[in-house]
Structure 1
Amino acid sequence: MENQSNKTAMNLPYIVGITLAATLGGLLFGYDTAVISGAIGSLRIHFGLNDLQEGWAASSALVGCILGASVAGWVADRFGRKPGLIAAALFFTISAIGSAIPDTFSEFIVYRIVGGVGVGIASMLSPMYIAEIAPEHLRGRLVSLNQFAIVFGMLVVYFVNYWIAGQGDQTWNTETGWRWMFGSETIPAGLFLLLLLFVPHSPRWLMLVGQEQKADTVLSKIMNPEYAKKALAEIKASLHQDLSKPKVRILGQGFGWVVFIGIMLSVFQQITGINVILYYAPRIFSQLGGGTTDTALLQTIVVGAVNLVFTVIAILTVDRLGRKPLMIFGSLGMGICITAVGTTAYLEITDSWILIFMLGYIASFALSLGPVVWVLLSEIFPNQIRGKAMAIAVAAQWISNFAVSQTFPMMMGNSYLMDNFHGGFPFWIYGAMCIVTILFVWKFVPETKGKKLEDMEALWRKKSDLVPEEPVAAGSTRV
């Protein structure tokens, strides 16, 4: 919306309500991916894992994430965003139960992959659904709420892991404690499934499948009927282009370039090292910081709290400052801090310094690549290719996540790297990737602040010099 009258036409309580329901997918995303941090030590002992198997225990869920993200676009376009989220909730529930009761390491891996499928679907569909029901002037903040939910889910499970670990000694945790950690996920998964029964279908998906009347009904709940009609007309115009214009498809017509940008944003979010910190924080603090396991778990909670606080700051500023400034300056802070982590490890200056620099890294990520990449991915793709294009980008994100998560324990367990770099080597690699991220965002990523979703096709066509960008008509309604 560009003016105050348009803003006041919104049914804000209803919009926020369905947004919060959708963000439970983000909470489960965070919960499922971070629960491994408290359980990985016990799993290693219980199943007798080596370094390679430990990496597989942490990263196996990411195989499911890749699969889930790969099919999420097809599911979203064929059945709708809402049924896709319901399927994700079912996968979360099955995984939580199965991961808590395995007799063998192979069984554990299977159920972690099942949960990963749920994460992959939810990681794409939750922000996509929110973007498609959000007013333009609130879209950045509402989509960022999904990242807040991811971070909140991580913080919750850090507390849950710490509490469960305190219920018994090391022997109890090795045999039983880690099972309760994974089983606890059934509570938020069940709540997510229940709330999804009450949210509407995305109006843009309804238009994609020709259900114009139902789309009008949903839009009329989001805003008053007058503005709903205008919004419906704009969505319809973006989906039904004049036949004289080039056909919209993933590759060609300028859209291959935007898909490439989406893929690279996803890759940079991962290869800058964030999930190494989130998955392996207790091990990093124990191995490099010299603390006990209990102290490491407490430090992990501090990491989660900082992540949450600075994500809130990003939510409050993303629609004011814009996407690019947050991405560039946040990546710079990440690069400085993660390089410092590697340097302090190399110089064997541990104690509190490792924690301080890791908190600075987490704060910078929470202001930039954490929430803003998801905002950009939900915004930059034109309506007609959004489902498929976002699926490709999110699948690339999980592939990168898998590569980083699988290689980190191998690097930390490598005797040559530890003897010569004292654990600092991988963190220097992540710092270098932060610099590459800054250059890419500065050169290639457009600012999407204040643009409606229906503007995206014209923006990319203009960049490819295929058709002139048409001005937005005066008084148009932006949603």
Structure 2
Amino acid sequence: MDRLLPPSNQEEYPNPLDTERDQYAELSSSNGHPTRRRNLYLAAFGANLASVASGCAMAWSSPSIPKLKDQGLIDDNQGSWLTSLLAVGASIGPFLAYRLVDRIGRRTTIILNMLVIIISWALLDIAPVLAPHIPSEFKLDTLNIMYIARFLSGIGVGCSFMVTPLYIAEISDTLVRSALCSSMQLFLIVGFLVEYTVGPYYSSTVLNGVSLVPPILCVLVFACVLPDSPLFLLQQGNGEGAFRALQWLRQQHDVYGEIGSSQKSLEESRSLEVVSWVGLLTTPFHIKCLSYGLILIFFQQFSGVPSWLLLFGLR
């Protein structure tokens, strides 16, 4: 409660403008040279390849379902299931990511997430070839395999929406964090654009192959180049790994100040009283905040825009 009381001594609380200028000066220069963010931008781009992959998965139904209907492979009801199963999987994905990010790390979670999306695209592509070789007792025909693929795609999309902005926020410095976190929406639309431009004019095999490129690139970039979040490494007690990761991201050797600040924030968060989910949901302040968020999400999702994006090309 002491933190909520007004300061009794103004000198204990520096001027916010002075603090902001000091942070800017600290982040904008290193030994008299401008801060270089090439590696940071590369890491944000690599993470946002997951956003492109998610956009491709979400928009696949727009050009593909009309083709499947024209070929007599599905009817309207089955087309609706192929579209909506992605949303079912996406409702599960964030909960899986929530359990994974603090156990195996942000980097590994993104890699596993992209592998799930890669498997889903592979199943969509080989479903007609794979179905005849599956024993009949499993009742997995081409359509059921496509259902499974779309459900897996949804899980991947849901995971991406949780872990991608988390990773970008934790690797970014304060001056560019907002811009880099908001870039997820831009890359998501790039995925939509890929499906809208390739799907109507090329075969499903070509579209599925093109859609495989972003998740494969994302896996390669994370596996070969990008580090895990320095904050996660500190949480795991891997101070040396966090130091090396931050050196690479900031492209400078002297990152002791930022490491110390992150370590201090981590220790302060650990010292705070742990509140259960029940406690959060029974506190009036948290109920009010949660209600505002749910109302905003409700109007966003029920405005019709998500359905329009997923079904843009249907006729």
Specify if TM > 0.5. Answer: yes
> In structure 2, what is the equivalent of residue 187 of structure 1?
213
1:158 aligns to 2:219 (yes or no): no
Q: Aligned partners of 2:36, 2:147: CA distance in 1, in Å?
A: 44
Task: Output the amino acid matched with 2:179.
Answer: R
The partner residue of 1:108 within 146, 165, 172 is 146
Deviation at 1:201, TM superposition (A): 0.6
Q: Aligned partners of 2:222, 2:199: CA distance in 1, in Å?
A: 27
Gapped runs of 5+ residues in structure 2?
A: 1-18, 30-34, 129-141
Task: Output the amino acid matched with 1:275.
Answer: P
Match of 1:136, SS? coil
Deviation at 1:252, TM superposition (A): 3.1
Deviation at 1:91, TM superposition (A): 1.1
Q: Aligned partners of 1:243, 1:65: CA distance in 2, in Å?
A: 31
Deviation at 1:208, TM superposition (A): 1.9
Gapped runs of 5+ residues in structure 1?
A: 165-176, 287-479
Match of 1:101, SS? helix
Q: Deviations over 1:235-270 (max 9, x none)?
A: 223322388753355453669555665555544432
Percent of residue pairs bearing the same amino acid type: 26
Q: Aligned partners of 2:208, 2:306: CA distance in 1, in Å?
A: 18
- TM-score relative to the length of structure 1: 0.52
Query: Which runs of structure 2 are paired with 1:238-387 in the superposition (5 Å)?
Result: 238-241=265-268, 245-252=272-279, 256-257=286-287, 263-283=294-314, 286=315
Q: Deviations over 1:34-84 (max 9, x none)?
A: 12100111223433413x332211111222222222100111110000001
1:200 aligns to 2:244 (yes or no): no
The partner residue of 1:216 within 243, 264, 270 is 243
Q: Aligned partners of 2:208, 2:271: CA distance in 1, in Å?
A: 55
Q: Aligned partners of 2:174, 2:42: CA distance in 1, in Å?
A: 17
Task: Output the amino acid matched with 1:270.
Answer: Q
User: In the comparison of the two structures, how many residue pairs are matched?
Assistant: 270
> In structure 2, what is the equivalent of residue 2 of structure 1?
20
1:20 aligns to 2:51 (yes or no): no
Deviation at 1:214, TM superposition (A): 1.7
Deviation at 1:126, TM superposition (A): 1.1
Q: Highest relative contact order (Cα 8 Å, sep 6+), 1 or 2? A: 2
Q: Aligned partners of 1:157, 1:247: CA distance in 2, in Å?
A: 45
Q: Aligned partners of 2:193, 2:228: CA distance in 1, in Å?
A: 30
> In structure 2, what is the equivalent of residue 234 of structure 1?
261
> In structure 2, what is the equivalent of residue 42 of structure 1?
67
1:139 aligns to 2:159 (yes or no): no
Q: Deviations over 1:423-447 (max 9, x none)?
A: xxxxxxxxxxxxxxxxxxxxxxxxx
Q: Aligned partners of 1:78, 1:259: CA distance in 2, in Å?
A: 26
Deviation at 1:11, TM superposition (A): 3.1
Q: Aligned partners of 2:295, 2:259: CA distance in 1, in Å?
A: 32
Q: Deviations over 1:223-246 (max 9, x none)?
A: 3455x3232233223322388753
Q: Deviations over 1:188-209 (max 9, x none)?
A: 2221211111110101111222
> In structure 1, what is the equivalent of residue 9 of structure 2?
none
> In structure 2, what is the equivalent of residue 53 of structure 1?
78
Shift of the 127–244 alpha-carbon distance from structure 1 to 2, 3 Å rule, reads: closer
- TM-score relative to the length of structure 2: 0.77
**Would the aligned equivalents of 2:50 and 2:214 in 1 still touch at CA under 8 Å?**
no
Task: Output the amino acid matched with 1:234.
Answer: S
**Would the aligned equivalents of 1:32 and 1:115 in 2 still touch at CA under 8 Å?**
yes
